[in-house]
Amino acid sequence: MHKLLGTVAVLFLCLSARAQSPVNEVGDEKYPELRRELVKMVTDDQNIRGEFDKFRHARGLYGIDNKTLNEKLNADPELKKDFNAIALRMQEADKARTARIKEIVNAYGWPGRSLVGTEASGAAWLMVSHAVTDVPFQRQALELMKKMGPCEVEPTYLAYLTDRVLLAEGKKQLYGSYPTRGPNGELIPQPIEDEANLDRRRAELGLQPFAEYWRRINQQLGVKK
């Protein structure tokens, strides 16, 4: 009970801080140049991903499983060549951004709200999330995020990165953040540790109940029950 009250108190402080806007507006951050760099990084990141998604939509490669994707690519050498080219560009860009975000984290620690502002702090989280070839670095960033003070890190970012790292390490997720496709194409959660206490853990971070989160995930991905 005391732990839950503590969580509620922290959330209230965060909301109050946002209302007064001490750290989350442009100009309030400690390092404006770093903020601008992180925002530029996330813009580039989203641009290449948007291009990749547009390509897949246009070629009928979006929302299909890997087996079907490989069958389509192997049946059309020209399509496979174009797909591999854009995928390689995205991978190389991710590699460069991973190297840079590692330099930033090693130099500044975790770029929280007071350091770079809300938008850029979210950008840093996304860059780390996309650093899928360097799980030890993702774990390092996660541990730094856990040590940040109230309101410095979005609870959703902490939950998503926790689950991403655990799954990459071959473990079960704690917050149920990530789905996968079942044998019949249905959307199912990837394995969750101690499911009976899932909503308790989510509540401790101020997250909505899992049932509501899962409803929204299905809605966003256009999956019908």
pLDDT at position 27 is 57
pLDDT tens string 157-199: 999 999 999 999 999 999 999 998 877 777 889 999 999 999 9
- Residues 114 and 152 sit within 8 Å (Cβ to Cβ): yes
Residues of the chain with pLDDT under 70: 1-27, 222-225
Match 């090693």 to its residue by tokens. Answer: 106
Match 């206490």 to its residue by tokens. Answer: 197
pLDDT at position 170 is 97
Query: If you average pLDDT over every residue of the chain, what do you get?
Result: 86
- d(C-alpha 190, C-alpha 56), whole Å: 24
- d(C-alpha 105, C-alpha 102), whole Å: 5
- State the sign of the Cα–Cα–Cα–Cα dihedral 139, 146, 34, 164: positive
Q: What is the pTM of this model?
A: 0.81
> What residue segments make up the domains of the chain, in order of their start?
2-153, 169-225
- d(C-alpha 122, C-alpha 116), whole Å: 10
- d(C-alpha 177, C-alpha 217), whole Å: 10
pLDDT at position 222 is 61
pLDDT at position 64 is 82
The C-alpha angle 114, 119, 122, rounded to 5 degrees, equals 90
Phi, psi (rounded to 5 degrees) for 111:
-75, 85
Task: Give whole-number Cα distances, 185 to 139, 160, 206, in Å.
Answer: 31, 23, 31
